[in-house]
Amino acid sequence: MKTMTIGSALVVSLATLVVGAGAASAVSISIGGTSAAGEGYKSSVVGATTIDFNSGAAPTSGMVSYSGVTNHIVQGSKSSNYATPAGDTTKYLTLSQAGAKVAGSTGSLTLNFAKALDYFGLYWGSVDTYNFLDIFKGNTLLRTISGKDVSSTAKGSWTGSSDNVFVNLSADAGQSFDKVVMRSNGIAFETDNHAYRQAVPEPFTVGGSLLGLAMGWQMRKKQNAKKAEA
């Protein structure tokens, strides 16, 4: 049986601390944005960049890349197909279940970000229980958010204030995310004014710094032991 030295124990303990902190990654939800004439609501988060789809297209390169957007951008409402978010007369994005034979019927869309974010927001219209957002860091799912998480009713109302809300998703302290997957198991998931903000790298973390010091101590100890044996 091998005996663990204090230095080894310190390395293992700190490694566990750092990994454990990563596993605790989470995303918090808040509701509220800034009213914009003819556009519903926009993000009020300082430093956020907004994508409003008014050009009729979604970005496919650069900081954010939308995959699979074809006939997903619409304007106005069409019965049994899609409904414009309350107060929004501009173009917006609609997503419906795969095979539904309506605009945007691909079931899901993925937003990949070139750099990590600490914030993502969107104006979510006629919220339904079958609308979902999956928030990822790399291939790790941090949180799944459904219509029930952002609306007290989630019954798909075209005009109700509780079913037409600006949703803010913020990474918890020290955390970040880089991918958002939108999903819908029904008709439809309507959103506009997507907003994001790049995360500012943490200049110093106690766990990471202590782990580095402990590992350096272990390495120097081994090197000194080899010199003594020579």
Per-residue pLDDT of the chain (230 residues; tens, 9 = 90+): 333 343 443 333 333 333 334 444 489 999 999 999 999 999 999 999 999 999 999 999 999 999 999 999 999 999 999 999 999 999 999 999 999 999 999 999 999 999 999 999 999 999 999 999 999 999 999 999 999 999 999 999 999 999 999 999 999 999 999 999 999 999 999 999 999 999 987 665 555 555 555 555 566 656 555 555 65
In order of 34, 114, 116, 179, the CA distances from 68 in angstroms are: 29, 17, 21, 14
Is 181 part of any domain? Answer: yes
Residue reference for tokens 């952002």: 150
In order of 74, 97, 143, 215, the CA distances from 20 in angstroms are: 44, 37, 17, 18
When divided into structural domains, the chain yields a total of 1
Q: Are 200 and 127 in contact (CB under 8 A)?
A: no
Cα 171 from Cα 197, distance rounded (Å) = 11
Is 211 part of any domain? Answer: no
For residue 192, the number of C-alpha atoms closer than 13 Å in the C-beta half-sphere is 32
Cα 156 from Cα 131, distance rounded (Å) = 10
Please tell me the predicted confidence (pLDDT) of residue 201.
76
Is 17 part of any domain? Answer: no
Is 219 part of any domain? Answer: no
pTM beyond cutoff 0.85: no
Is 32 part of any domain? Answer: yes
Beta bridge partners of 199: none
Residue 148's CATH number? 2.60.120
Q: Which residues contact 138 (CB under 8 A, 6 or more apart)?
A: 178, 179
3-state secondary structure (DSSP) of residue 68: coil
Please tell me the predicted confidence (pLDDT) of residue 23.
40
Is 195 part of any domain? Answer: yes
Cα 203 from Cα 201, distance rounded (Å) = 6
Is 210 part of any domain? Answer: no
Structural domain of 57: 25-199
Is 14 part of any domain? Answer: no
> At residue 140, what is the residue type?
T
Cα 71 from Cα 210, distance rounded (Å) = 52
Please tell me the predicted confidence (pLDDT) of residue 214.
56
Cα 145 from Cα 180, distance rounded (Å) = 11
